[in-house]
Amino acid sequence: MDNKSEASQPKIRVKKPGIISILLGAILAMSIMIIMVIEVDGRSKMLKSPEQWYELMKKHPYE
C-alpha cells in the first residue's frame, strides 16, 4: 500500500532554468533596493549637483 500512496502523490521538481530565474530575480531585486537606498538618502539631503551625488555614492561600501 505504501508504494501506491507514494506513486499517487505528485513529485515537485524544480528545473534548472527555474532556479536560474529565481537567482536572477533575487539579484535584480537587491540591485534595485541598493539604488533606492542611494536615491532616498540623496533626496533627503537635498542633493542637486553631480558632485554631491558622487560623494554620496562613494560612502556606500558596495561601490
Note the pLDDT tens digit of each residue in 37-46: 888 877 777 7
Residue 45 has a pLDDT of 76
- Percentage of residues in the chain having pLDDT higher than 70: 78
Backbone angle region of 53, left / alpha / beta, with phi > 0 → left and psi within -120 to 50 → alpha: alpha
Read off the pLDDT of each residue in 10-15 and give the average, rounded to a whole number. 71
Residue 49 has a pLDDT of 82
The whole-angstrom separation of Cα 2 and Cα 15 is 27
**Model pTM greater than 0.95?**
no
pLDDT score of 3 more than 80: no
Residue 33 has a pLDDT of 93
